[in-house]
Amino acid sequence: MNTQKSANPVEYLKVLPQYLIPQHTLSRAVYRITRCEWKPLKNFLIKSFVSWFKVDMSLAKQPDGTVYKHFNDFFTRELRSDARPIVPGKITVISPVDGSISQIGKINSGEIFQAKGRSYDLDALLAGDYEMAENFKDGQFATLYLSPRDYHRIHMPLDGKLIKMTYAPGKLFAVNNHTAKVVEQLFARNERIISYFETAIGSMAIIMVGAMNVGSMETVWAGEITPTNNRSITIMDYNDRQIYLKRGDEMGRFNMGSTVIVLFGKNRVHWLPGLQPDQLITMGTTIGKIQCQ
């Protein structure tokens, strides 16, 4: 049961500046700063970030912050091979990220729960791709939030073959709980990359949602996709490209943090009982089970 409260006047005031500032201009500035290789600046940024957000560098493959080429190199750091063991089991759906559960549950009549009193359209989330949306009607969704301190690579919840990717331009609102309570259709309005996979249980979608100060997003098959001057929906067909990714394989990364939404079809998976909003999760741990094969 969801116990979140509706937005209060203070939360509306906190979100108001996001409507006024030039979101994309700010994010492009962050992109440049986080790729600055001038050692005094990048070392200062990394040291300050680790201290402020209490980042556990012992999990990193390279624990020495001064070795990283620039801040973004640190931010997308690789973890030790033993830091995130993948839970075994062919019927196990694993968390694709380190982070926390924003919302999780059923897609009801094409509506996905965002926060108390707010939902958003599945069709809109998938950038008007009604044919693909039909695969997920009355299915299951998980919205997972990555905080600044988290590991920012995204991995596969199940084995899958990439069939299509859509880039959808949009706003860059922050994606924290305050904004989710205030901004209507938040995840369907923000810039996003939608990747569709064919799995043993049918279609799976992984949506990477951009946000304020997210310098860029990238996938392992296409490289860096944002930022871009292209402000139109772009669809890339991968049906003829034999791109297979195993459960636990990296599929993309956020160059600065944001949100991942995972979608499955009707009666394909069930989430673990007891998963709740704000619950912490780590990549490779169980979040659900396959219902049919």
pLDDT digits (tens, 9 = 90+) for 17-61: 545 454 556 667 777 888 899 999 999 999 999 999 999 999 999
Do 161 and 39 reside in the same domain of the chain?
no
Structure tokens that stand for 120 in this block: 């958003």
The pLDDT of residue 268 is 97
The pLDDT of residue 113 is 83
Mean pLDDT along residues 52-80: 95
For this structure, is 102 an active site residue?
no
The pLDDT of residue 12 is 45
- For the full predicted model, state whether its pTM sits above 0.75: yes
Q: Which of 27, 102, 195, 258 is catalytic?
A: 258
Q: What are phi and psi of 190, to 5 degrees?
A: -75, 155
Q: Which of 98, 102, 129, 152 is catalytic?
A: 98
Do 152 and 231 reside in the same domain of the chain?
yes
Nearest to 85 by CA among 288, 285, 286: 285
* Cα–Cα separations (whole angstroms), residue 201 to 135, 264, 292: 11, 9, 7
Portion of the chain with pLDDT greater than 90, in percent: 63
* Cα–Cα separations (whole angstroms), residue 261 to 30, 58, 62, 104, 154: 24, 28, 29, 9, 11
Secondary element (H or E) of residue 117 = none
Nearest to 210 by CA among 251, 176, 257: 257
Q: pLDDT tens, 123-168?
A: 999 999 999 999 999 999 999 999 888 999 999 999 999 999 999 8
Do 47 and 157 reside in the same domain of the chain?
no
Give domain status of residue 150, yes or no: yes
For this structure, is 155 an active site residue?
yes
The pLDDT of residue 2 is 47
Domain that holds residue 185: 92-290
Kindly give, in sequence order, each residue whose CB lies less than 8 Å from that of residue 177, ignoring residues fewer than 6 positions away. 4, 102, 115, 278
* Dihedral of alpha carbons 237, 108, 258, 30, sign: positive
Do 247 and 188 reside in the same domain of the chain?
yes
Do 19 and 136 reside in the same domain of the chain?
no
Give domain status of residue 80, yes or no: no
Q: With contact defined as beta carbons under 8 Å apart, do 101 and 278 qualify?
A: yes
Do 250 and 119 reside in the same domain of the chain?
yes
Residue 176's pLDDT band, with cuts at 50, 70 and 90, is low
Give domain status of residue 167, yes or no: yes
For this structure, is 258 an active site residue?
yes
The pLDDT of residue 169 is 85
Give domain status of residue 216, yes or no: yes
The pLDDT of residue 55 is 94
Q: Which of 24, 70, 152, 155 is catalytic?
A: 155
Q: pLDDT tens, 241-251?
A: 999 999 999 99
Mean pLDDT along residues 71-99: 94
Q: CA-to-CA distance for 217 and 257, rounded, in angstroms?
A: 9
Q: pLDDT tens, 223-233?
A: 988 656 667 89
Q: With contact defined as beta carbons under 8 Å apart, do 65 and 47 qualify?
A: yes
